[in-house]
Structure 1
C-alpha cells in the first residue's frame, strides 16, 4: 500500500502549493539516485517521491485525495457513506440514507437472481447508481471482509467481492547507448497492447517506470492495475557505467606511450582528441569532465585508462628491450 503523499514529501495537509514544491525539490535532491549510487533502494524511494508530488501538485487530484475519493496511488476508493451513524439520529429522518437522502439499498434488490439494480438515486453520480467499486466495498465492510475477499452476507449467502486488477512487472532490454543517450522503445504489454516508452537520457540498469492503468483489468468495474517496466541496460564492449560516470580502457601503442602522442578516444558524443605526455605508463587514467552519463544534477565524467599494447615480436624490439634491461635502475615493484 502506498504511503500518504503528505508524509512522503514531508509537509502538512494545510501546506500551500509552493510549500509542497519547495519540500519536493529539497527531498528530490537528497533522494536522487545520482546522490545515492550505492543505495539499491534509492530508485524506489525517488519513484515514490515523484508519485507523491504528481498527485499533490495536481489541484484536482489533491482535492479528491483530501476528500478520500482516491487513494495515494490516484485510484478511486470509497471515502465513506452517510447514513451509517454519520451524525444523524438513528431511526429519524435520513437514517440509513446517502448524501442525497436516499437509502443505501434503494436501487438494488436481492433475490434468486442475485443483485438487481433499479432506477433510484444513490450516493454515486446524481441520478444514477453508485459505482460498482463503491458498492462492493460497502458489502465487504458490512460482512467483515476485505477488498477482494470473502465474507458472510447479511442475506445468508457467501459474498465474494471481485478483485481489483493486478499490477504487472515486465523487463525490457535496452542497448547501452540507447539508455545513455535517451531513446524510445516499443513495449508489448501482457494485454497485447504496444506502447512506445520514452527512455530518458542517462537511464541506468534497474530503472523502473510506472504505466498507470496498463496492468490487468479488474472484475465488474473494479480498478485496473498498473504496469511496471524495469530497464535492463545491456553491457557495452568499451564503456562501463560507474554511477553517473563512465569508464573506458583505451589501447595505445608502445611508441605512443614512450614518445607521447595525440590519440582519439570515443565518448557518448563522438570522438575527442586526447593528448598523451611522453613516458605515459600503462594504467594511467585521464579525466574528461562532463563526458559521462547525463543526470539532473549535472553530467558525470569519463575516466579513460590507457593500456599499452606491445607490437609483434622482432629482433629490433628484443634488442631494444635488452638495452633497457641493462640500463634499468631499481625494481618497479619496490614498495609493494
Structure 2
C-alpha cells in the first residue's frame, strides 16, 4: 500500500465517521490552496487529504481499503474447489472467511443500515457586495427526506422483514478472481437487498419501499463576509436522507460571485481605478473614493502620475479570517474635446514649460541624447 490514508488524516484505524470528518475539515482548512497560492507543497498535501477523505468517508471504499491495507499481497493461494472462476458467494463463503473479512465488513448489515446519506452540492450566485459584506439567503432545492409513514424502513407499518437469501443477511457478497493459485478476494454490497441484509415483505405505500420521499426544502444560510467564487459552506444534515435509517448527508453550497462595475478583489483586498483631471494631478487636491459602505476622502499630492497607487487601510473586506485594504490606482485623464480657446491656452501653457520640469521626459531626453546627440523634444529644452 503506497499511502496510509489514516496517517494522512491523523486518525486511528478505528476512527468513527465523525472523527474522520472532523480531521478532514481541520486539515482542509489548514492546507486549502486559496490560503497558500503558488505553494506546491500545500497543493500536494491538500490533494492527499482529499484522496484520503474520499476513501475513508465512503463505507464501501473504506472496507476494501482496510482489506488491502491488511493484505498487501492482494491474494490467497491453496484454496481448492474454486478453480479459476469469478463469481459471487453467499453465507457459506462468508462463514469460512469470517475471521478475515470481519475487520472490514463491520457486521455487514448493521454498518449498511447506519450509512450516512449522500451530500448534495448546489451553486448559488451572490452579488459582489453581498459576498464581500456577508448576507442571509434562502435557498430551495430537492432532496430525499425520511418517509414519515414508515420512518425510513421502507416497510409497511406492522410488517416484518425476511433475511436476504442471496447474502444470508450479511449485506455483502464476496468475489474470488484469478486463474492461478493466487486469487484476489473482493466484496460488494449485495444487489438483491441493497446492502441491508434483509428483504421487505410488504412495501410502504407512501414511499414505495424506498424509505424516503423527494421534497423541495428551503433553508436559510448566514453567509459570512468574504465569500468568493469557488468557496463554499456546509449545512450539516441537510443532504440526502439515508436509505438505511442513518444520519442525513450534508448540503454543500458553492458560491459564484458576480463582478462589480467599480470594485475588483484579491482575497480580502479591494481595488479601484480612479480617473483624475490634469489640474488635480499637477496641483494636488482632494477626491472622494468609494468603499463598501460609503465614500472617503483621499488626498492627491501635487505632481501625481498615472499608475500611482494609494492605500486606504482597513477599507477592504473585513471577515473573521482577516481585514483587507482598499488600493486606489490613479489615472490622469486627458480631455478628448477642447474648444479653440482652450487649445490656445494650453499651447501658451506648454510653451512656458521646459523638459526639466517633466521627470520622465527629462530622463528619456537625456538617454536619447547620449545615444544620438539628438533632442527628441524639439523646441522644448
Q: Distance in 1 between matches of 2:39 and 2:276?
A: 32
Q: 1:37 touches 1:243 (CA, 8 Å); kept in 2?
A: no
CA contact 1:262–1:273 (8 Å) conserved in 2: yes
1:188 alignment partner in structure 2 = 140
Q: Give the Cα separation in 2 of the matches to 1:323 and 1:276.
A: 26
TM-score (norm 2): 0.49
SS in 1 for 2:314: coil
Aligned equivalent of 2:287: 263
Q: Distance in 2 between matches of 1:185 and 1:194?
A: 10
- Hey, what does 2:344 align to over in structure 1? 319
**Separation in 1, partners of 2:59, 2:237:** 10
SS of structure 2 residue aligned to 1:323: helix
Of 281, 293, 296, the residue aligned with 1:272 is 296
Question: Within 1, Cα distance between the matches of 2:226 and 2:59?
Answer: 28
Per-residue CA distance 1:122-154 (angstroms, 9 max, x = gap) = x89xxxxx758349x9xxxxxxxxxxxxxxxxx
Match of 1:18 in 2: none
Which one has a bigger Cα radius of gyration? Answer: 2
Q: 2:225 aligned with 1:230, yes or no?
A: no
Aligned-pair distance for 1:225? 3.9
Give the drift of 1:204.
1.3
Name the CA shift for 1:261/1:321 in 2 (closer, same or farther; >3 Å). same
Alignment of 1:1-336 (within 5 A): 7-8=7-8, 10=10, 31=32, 33-36=34-37, 45=46, 72=57, 133-134=112-113, 165-191=117-143, 192-219=216-243, 221=245, 224-311=248-335, 312-326=337-351, 327-329=353-355, 332=361, 334=364
Q: Deviations over 1:161-206 (max 9, x none)?
A: xxx7543321101011111111111111223111111211111111
Q: CA deviation at 1:328?
A: 4.5
Q: Secondary structure at 1:193's aligned position in 2?
A: strand
Q: Which moved more, 1:187-196 or 1:171-180?
A: 187-196
- TM-score (normalizing by structure 1): 0.55
Whether the aligned pair in 2 keeps the contact of 1:34 and 1:297 (CA below 8 Å) is: no
After superposition, the Cα gap between the structure-2 partners of 1:73 and 1:248, relative to the gap in structure 1 and judged at 3 Å, is farther
Give unmatched runs, 5+ long, in structure 2: 15-21, 67-94, 100-106, 144-215, 369-381
Distance 1:324 1:38 in 2: 53
Tell me which protein shows more helix as a share of its residues: 2
Q: Deviations over 1:279-302 (max 9, x none)?
A: 212221101222222345531221
Q: Which residue of 1 aligns with 2:376?
A: none
Is the 2:285–2:301 Cα contact (8 Å) retained in structure 1? yes
Native 8 Å contact 2:117 2:247 kept in 1: yes
What is the total number of aligned residue pairs between the two structures? 242
Higher relative contact order (CA 8 A, sep 6+): 2
Query: Would the aligned equivalents of 1:256 and 1:276 in 2 still touch at CA under 8 Å?
Result: yes
Cα distance in structure 1, aligned partners of 2:98 and 2:297: 76
